[in-house]
Structure 1
C-alpha cells in the first residue's frame, strides 16, 4: 500500500498481493487492490489523505522491487535458520527491513482470493463493552451465560461465552462447552487463564464489572489477544476466516532446527492429548493433577470413607495412561495434587473432609498435606504404580509441589519409597521450586535426594513480591522480570548446574517473555515447559539464544 502500514492492520485498505516462487524468484500471482486513502507522516503527526483516482488502482511497488524483497526474505531465512514473517518499507526506492520474526503458523496455503483475506480485525464489532487482561489468544463470539457459583455450571451450553467472577477446577466441565471465558478477577496466571489456554479458547480476565454490564443471552465477541469484549457477533464470513486461520496453525516439525535445551509442554486436560503429542516437544514438563481429579468429581477421602478407593485409582490411572501412551517414550512429569482446601471443598463430599481457611493459598496444601494425612497421596502413588508396572509405561515421573522445608521432602520421599516407587533411570523424582525457601535452601533440598527441580514461576513471583497472583487489583505489580525474581531464577539454575541435577521451569513466564527465555538459556537451564500454543515460538527463541551463546563463547576464545 501507499503510506504507513497501520491501515493494513486496521483492515481499512486492501493491499496489493504478490506470490513469488521461492526457487525461481518469478512472480506467480499478482492482485492489485483499490486503495482510496493513505496514512502519511507529516509535520510530526500521522494524517489520513485521500488518493487520486489515477493512483488508487496503480500497482504500489514495481515487479523488480517485489523480487528484491523476496531475495531479502531468503537471506533472512538463511540467517535465522527459519522462515520469517517480515515487515518492510520503501523510501526513495530503498528497501528497509523494519521487523523480522519466525513464522510459527506454517501450513497449507488458503485457496481464498486476496479480497477474502481482508483483515479479520476489520470485520469485528466496533463497540468495546469491557476491557481486561488478555489471558488466552483468539477471537470467538456467542451468547453470554453468567455463572455465579458451581451449582450453576449446568446452565452453560455449547457455544456460550462463560462469564463468572472467577473460575476454579469445578468449572472445567462448563469451560469445555464454552467458546470463550470472561472473568471479573484474576490475572494471566489465574485458573481461568491456564485452562482457557489449554482448551485453546479465548479468554479475558480481570474484566471489572462484567457481571453487571453483561446480561444472559447478550451476544458478544471476545478478543482474547487484546483483552476486549465487543458488542455483537461476527458475520459468517468472519467466523469462517477465523476458523481457517486456526486450521493453518500447523508446525513443520521437520523444518525446526535442533536445540540442546529440552522443550516440554504444560498439560492438564486429556481431551486433546493426541493433538498436543504431535508437537515438537520432548515430553510433558508439567502434568497438573487437579483438573483430572476435578473431572472425577468426588473427593478422594469420600472414596476412602465409602471403601471405594479402587474407583479413584481406576479413574486416575486411566487418565495418566492416556498421557503416557500419547507421549511414550518421552517423559511425563506428573505433579501430585496441589488442591487448595477451598477447591477440594467443592468436590462431592468435600465439605466433610476439608477445613475452612482464611487464606487457602498459603494453607493446607502440597507436601505438608501428604505428610499430615498420607491416605490420598498413597492413592495417587497407586495409580502411578499401575501405569508404570501394569501398563509398562515407564515414562511417568513424579513431582512434589509446595515443599516448605528439606525435612518435609524427606518425609514425602519415605512415603513414596514405602509403596515401592524407587528413584532410578526410568523413574525420576522432581520437586517444585516455588517458595523463596526452596531457592535459599536449595543445596539442602538437593541433599535430600532428588533428580531435579522445576521452577514454578507463578507462585515464586507471587511469594517473592508479596502479590496475590489471582487478584486483578494488584496485577500490575506481578512481574516475573522483577530483579528479585531474576535473582532467584539465576541462583536456582546455577545451584542445580553445580550439583548436577536437572532444572526446568514450568510457570507462565517463559510462554510470555522471549527475553526471559534467552536469560534462562544463558544461565544454563536444562529444560523449559510452556503452553502448547507457543511451542514453535519458544523453540525458535531457544534456538536463537543457543546460537548467540555459542557465538559469544567463540569470541571469548
Structure 2
C-alpha cells in the first residue's frame, strides 16, 4: 500500500504545491503556522497528485485523453464543448483503486475521532498549478459540500477529478499557458464549516480596485459562499484600516449594506447512482436579514486579524509584501470563524513600476445604469446581451458583454470584451475577479443593466469616477494620463489635495501629495446620510412620511443618531486613511440654510434667508440653539474618528468664523463635546475667508493652530460680489490685485505668529498664475483638486528652482 496518496494538513505547506495542489498547500501552511496565532483553520487532508496519476494510469486513461484533446482549439466554443465532454466522460468512467479508497475512508474515520461522528466534509479540488501569483484558478474546478458517508466521499472525490476537464478549466489552462496533461488534480478533504446556517465570504488584504495596500476588504453574505463567488447576490462589504488596527484600534473603517436577496443552504439530499450527494440551493432571505449586516463588527475584527496575520506570514515567507485573496466561513453551530482558503492576489500585486494611470472622461451623457465599479478604467462599445451560456458564440470581440451574471464558463468571451456589465454580484464575484485579471472595466450589481440595455446600443462604461460605476449613453471620448511618479521631486511648498468623496479616496491614494488640505463633510452628509442632523435628534417635529424615510435609511444601525455618527465618521476616516499618517484637514459642516433645508427633514429646522451665502452658516450655527444639537453629532463623529478609530492625523477646521468672540464660543462648544484643542494632539484650524480674519489675524492666531485661505469666499467678500450671482459673475476673479493683497497679508500674519498657512480654494486649481503667486509669497501648503495635482507639482518644482536661482 502506497503512503503517498494522503497527507494531513499538518504535513504539508507551500513547498508542496506540486504534490498536493495550491489549495491544500495553503490550508496546510495556515494550519501548521497560524493556528498557534489564533487563526482558526478546519483540519483535513490532501489526496495527492500521485493519487490522481495513479487513477488515470490504472484505467489506461492517458491515451484516450490525448485522443480527445490533442489539436483542440479552445477559442472554438463548439469544439471545446465537444472535446471537453469526451475528456470528462473518460475520467468519470475511471474506477478508484481499492488501496486509494481504503486510505481516503480511513482518514475520514480519523477526522471523526477529532470532531465527532456527526462531522461532515467539504471536498474541494486543488490543482497543482492553482493559486500561483499569475493565475488564481478561481472557480475552475468543482467542490462538494456537507458530505457525510464513505460512498458519497469517494464519489465526490471522483467528481473532482472529472472537473479537471471542464470547458472552463481547459480554456483557463490554455489562456495561462499550462499543459492540460501536466496540471494534476489533487483534492482537499476537510471538516465542513456549517456556514449554510451561518455566514461566509471572501476578503483581500488590499483594495481590489485601486491596489491601496493599507486596508482589508471583506465581502460577507448569509449562507454558503458560492453566491458571492458566482455574483448572484449583492453582498455586504467592510473595510478595516491595517495601520490603525495594528496600533490597537478596533473599528470598521467603512461599510456598505448589500441586498443579500438570497442565501445558499443545503436543501435536500439527492441520490445519484445510488450515492447520496448533498444538494445546495438558494432560498429568499427575510426582510430583516436584508436590512441588517450579515456579520457583526466583532466578526469583522476577527476577519481583519486573520487577514493581517495571513498576509504577514506569506510576506515574511516570500521576502516581499504579498497581498492575499482569502475565503472564510462562519459556522452556525459553534459560532466560530474559520479560514478556508488563502492564495496570492493575482492582479494588483503583479503590477510593476511606479507609473500612475488616471482615466478621464472628456464629456458625459445620460446615465443608463449604475453599479459597483471594478477597476478604474473606461471602456466603450456596442451592447451584446447574453443570458445563457449556449449563446456565447453570438458575442463579437470588442462588444460590451451585458448579462445577469457570469460563471467560469464565460471566460473565453469575457477576455475579448471591451467592458462587462452584470445585473448581480459584488466586487469579489466571478465577473469582477476575471475582469480584474484581464484588465477590463466592469460594472457589477446594476440590478437592471441586462434588462434596459439592448443589443447594438453604443455605450461607455466608466469605472473612473469612484466606487460607483456609470454606464453612459453613446461612445464618449476619454484620455489616459500617465505619470512616472519616481521622477517627481519633492517640493518645499507642500502640495495637498481637496477631497470630499470617500469613494474616490483609495483611487487617489497613490498621488504624491503631502496630505488632504480640505475634506468637506457636506458631501458625506448629502450623499450618504441625506438627512438633516436635527431631524435625527427631533423626529417628533417631522411628518410620518419623513420619519419613515429616515427609519429606512438608518435601519441597519442602532438608531438614527448611531447611523449619523458612524456614517459620517467612517466617511471622514476613509478620506484620512488615504493619506495616513499625513495630515487630513476636515472642515466642519458649511452648508448654507437653503442647502440644509433641502436635506431630508430639513425644512422645519431652517430659516428662509434672502442671501444664505452670507447668512446663517459656518461658526455662527455651532452654538446656536437652532443647530447646537446637530453640531454635537458632528463633534461626536469627529471624536470617534480620532479617539476610537485612531486617525490622529485628522485636523479639524472651522469655516466662516466672523469674529473673535465667535471663535472663542466655537472652541468652548467643541471642548464641551469632547474635542478640546491640544487633547490627544488635536489641532484646530480656522478658514481665513472673511476680511476680518485677515485684519485680526494676530488675534485669531491666539485661538487656532493654523489658517486655510478660502479664496472663493475671500474673493466674494473683498470684492463685494455674490459668487452665486450669474449677473455679476464677470466681476468674480481670484486674480484681482486686492484679493492677492489680502492673501499675502494672511500668509505674512500666519508666519509672524508661527502658524500654518494654506489655501484650499478653487483659485490655484483653476489658475496656474495664482499657484505661482502663492509659492513666491511663501505659503506653507496649496491644496488642489485631484485632477490638477500632478501638473501643479511639476509647475511648483520649476518655480522653486527659479526662486532658488534668483536668490543666488
Does 2:741 correspond to 1:487? yes
Provide the residue aligned with 2:693 in structure 1.
438
Write the deviation string for residues 141-189 of structure 1: whole angstroms up to 9, x where unpaired: 534xxxxxxxxxxxx7548xxxxxxxxxxxxxxxxxxxxxxxxxxxxxx
Q: Is the 8 A contact 1:395 1:426 kept in 2?
A: no
Counterpart-to-counterpart distance in 2, 1:514 and 1:282? 19
Provide the residue aligned with 1:344 in structure 2.
596
Q: Is the 8 A contact 1:366 1:403 kept in 2?
A: yes
1:239-250 maps to which residues of 2 (within 5 A)? 239=476, 242-243=477-478, 245=479, 248-250=480-482
Where does structure 1 lack aligned partners over 5 or more consecutive residues?
A: 1-104, 111-136, 144-155, 160-218, 222-232
Give the Å deviation of 1:106.
Answer: 7.3
Provide the residue aligned with 1:330 in structure 2.
582
Q: Is the 8 A contact 1:317 1:386 kept in 2?
A: yes
Counterpart-to-counterpart distance in 1, 2:607 and 2:777? 42
Counterpart-to-counterpart distance in 1, 2:634 and 2:482? 35
Provide the residue aligned with 2:660 in structure 1.
406
Task: Say which of 494, 499, 513 aligns to 1:281.
Answer: 513
Does 2:532 correspond to 1:299? yes
Counterpart-to-counterpart distance in 1, 2:754 and 2:481? 38
CA RMSD of aligned residues (A): 2.6
Provide the residue aligned with 2:565 in structure 1.
313
Write the deviation string for residues 432-490 of structure 1: whole angstroms up to 9, x where unpaired: 0111111111111112x211000000011011111121222222111111111011011
Provide the residue aligned with 1:255 in structure 2.
487
Task: Say which of 522, 538, 556 aligns to 1:290.
Answer: 522
Counterpart-to-counterpart distance in 1, 2:614 and 2:357? 49
- Residues 107 and 314 of structure 1: CA distance in aligned 2, closer, same or farther (over 3 Å): closer
Q: Is the 8 A contact 1:266 1:285 kept in 2?
A: yes
- Residues 311 and 138 of structure 1: CA distance in aligned 2, closer, same or farther (over 3 Å): closer
Q: Is the 8 A contact 1:480 1:509 kept in 2?
A: yes
Provide the residue aligned with 1:164 in structure 2.
none
- Residues 107 and 439 of structure 1: CA distance in aligned 2, closer, same or farther (over 3 Å): closer
Does 2:767 correspond to 1:507? no
- Residues 357 and 487 of structure 1: CA distance in aligned 2, closer, same or farther (over 3 Å): same
Provide the residue aligned with 2:502 in structure 1.
270
Q: Is the 8 A contact 1:497 1:524 kept in 2?
A: no
Counterpart-to-counterpart distance in 2, 1:378 and 1:531? 29
Task: Say which of 426, 429, 450 aligns to 2:684.
Answer: 429
- Residues 349 and 495 of structure 1: CA distance in aligned 2, closer, same or farther (over 3 Å): same
Give the Å deviation of 1:513.
Answer: 1.6
Counterpart-to-counterpart distance in 1, 2:612 and 2:357? 48
Provide the residue aligned with 1:124 in structure 2.
none
Give the Å deviation of 1:509.
Answer: 0.5
Counterpart-to-counterpart distance in 2, 1:109 and 1:533? 9
- Residues 308 and 252 of structure 1: CA distance in aligned 2, closer, same or farther (over 3 Å): same
Give the Å deviation of 1:310.
Answer: 2.4
Of the structure 1 ranges 464-473 and 530-539, higher mean CA displacement relative to structure 2 is found in 464-473
Give the Å deviation of 1:547.
Answer: 1.4
Give the Å deviation of 1:410.
Answer: 0.7
Asked which structure has the greater RCO (Cα within 8 Å, sep 6+), the reply is: 1
Provide the residue aligned with 1:523 in structure 2.
777
Write the deviation string for residues 108-157 of structure 1: whole angstroms up to 9, x where unpaired: 899xxxxxxxxxxxxxxxxxxxxxxxxxx9522534xxxxxxxxxxxx75
Give the number of the structure whose alpha-carbon radius of gyration is greater. 2
Where does structure 2 lack aligned partners over 5 or more consecutive residues?
A: 1-353, 371-457, 461-471, 540-558
Give the Å deviation of 1:406.
Answer: 0.8
- Residues 359 and 328 of structure 1: CA distance in aligned 2, closer, same or farther (over 3 Å): same
Counterpart-to-counterpart distance in 1, 2:676 and 2:783? 25
Counterpart-to-counterpart distance in 2, 1:142 and 1:508? 25
Provide the residue aligned with 2:798 in structure 1.
544
Task: Say which of 362, 366, 373 aligns to 2:614.
Answer: 362
SS of structure 2 residue aligned to 1:528: strand
Counterpart-to-counterpart distance in 2, 1:420 and 1:470? 36
Does 2:643 correspond to 1:389? yes
Task: Say which of 696, 702, 717 aligns to 1:463.
Answer: 717
Q: Is the 8 A contact 2:519 2:572 kept in 1?
A: no
Q: Is the 8 A contact 2:705 2:756 kept in 1?
A: yes
SS of structure 1 residue aligned to 2:707: strand
Counterpart-to-counterpart distance in 2, 1:453 and 1:308? 34
Q: Is the 8 A contact 2:762 2:784 kept in 1?
A: yes
Counterpart-to-counterpart distance in 2, 1:142 and 1:260? 41
- Residues 550 and 364 of structure 1: CA distance in aligned 2, closer, same or farther (over 3 Å): same
- Residues 426 and 249 of structure 1: CA distance in aligned 2, closer, same or farther (over 3 Å): farther
Q: Is the 8 A contact 2:355 2:485 kept in 1?
A: no
Counterpart-to-counterpart distance in 2, 1:314 and 1:388? 13
SS of structure 2 residue aligned to 1:271: helix
Q: Is the 8 A contact 2:357 2:481 kept in 1?
A: no
Counterpart-to-counterpart distance in 2, 1:519 and 1:109? 28
Give the Å deviation of 1:342.
Answer: 0.5
1:75-90 maps to which residues of 2 (within 5 A)? none
- Residues 547 and 414 of structure 1: CA distance in aligned 2, closer, same or farther (over 3 Å): same
Counterpart-to-counterpart distance in 1, 2:493 and 2:575? 22
Q: Is the 8 A contact 2:356 2:510 kept in 1?
A: no
SS of structure 2 residue aligned to 1:250: strand
Give the Å deviation of 1:426.
Answer: 3.6
Write the deviation string for residues 252-279 of structure 1: whole angstroms up to 9, x where unpaired: 2211011111111001111111011111
Give the Å deviation of 1:234.
Answer: 10
TM-score by length of 2: 0.40
1:59-208 maps to which residues of 2 (within 5 A)? 139-143=362-366, 157-158=368-369
SS of structure 1 residue aligned to 2:519: strand
Aligned residues: 334
Provide the residue aligned with 2:630 in structure 1.
376
- Residues 311 and 106 of structure 1: CA distance in aligned 2, closer, same or farther (over 3 Å): closer
Write the deviation string for residues 353-388 of structure 1: whole angstroms up to 9, x where unpaired: 111111111111110110213211111111111111
Give the Å deviation of 1:301.
Answer: 0.3
Counterpart-to-counterpart distance in 1, 2:355 and 2:738? 38
